[in-house]
Amino acid sequence: MNATAAIKAYNKVGIESSVTAADPVKLISMLYQGALLAIANAKNGILRKDTPAKGAAISKAIAIIGEGLNASLDKKVGGELAQNLSSLYDYMVMRLLAANLNNDMAALDEVARLLNDLKGAWDSIRQSAAAVPQHLDIQPKIANRAQLAYARG
C-alpha cells in the first residue's frame, strides 16, 4: 500500500489529523483513538438497535487492535512486555467479539477502559520526549499495517 492510499484509508475513520506529519509514536496514539471512536460508535449502534452499524464499528475496532496495534509489536525484540501487550490485544478482540454477539455494553466499556489506559501511557511517552521503545518495530510497519487496519474496518 502506498502512502497516499494509506492516508486515504486512515481518513475513513473520521479522525481529523495530519497523518503525513505524524511521527510513529503519534500514529500509535491515533490508532488507540480510532479504536476508542469505533467502540463509541458500536455502543451507539446498540442503543439505536442498529445491528449493522454496531457490527461495522466493532469490526473496525477489532481490525485496528489486531491488524494495527498488535501487528506493530516486535515480539522477538520486545520480549515479555511485547508478549503481554499482544495477549492483552488478543483478549480485547475476544471481548469485542463477545460484545458483538451479545450486545454487551460492559464488554465494550471494559475494552474502552483498557485502551484508554494504554493510550494514556503511550501519550506520556511522547510527552516526555522519550525514544520509541525498542520492543516496537513500528517505523516500517505502521504506514502499511496500522492504516490498512482502518481500510479493512
Rounded distance between C-alpha atoms, residue 91 and residue 22, angstroms: 28
Look up the pTM and report it: 0.73
Between 1.20.120.340, 1.10.510.10, 3.40.50.970, 3.20.10.10, what CATH number should domain 3-9+22-152 receive?
1.20.120.340
Task: Single out the residue of 117, 138, 41 nearest to residue 147, CA to CA.
Answer: 138
- What are the pLDDT digits (tens) for 38-57? 999 999 999 999 999 999 99
Q: Where are the domains of the chain?
A: 3-9+22-152
Q: 39: which residues sit within 8 A by CB, 6+ positions away?
A: 57, 58, 61, 96, 108, 111, 112, 115
- What are the pLDDT digits (tens) for 79-101? 898 899 999 999 999 999 999 99
Identify the DSSP state of 133.
P
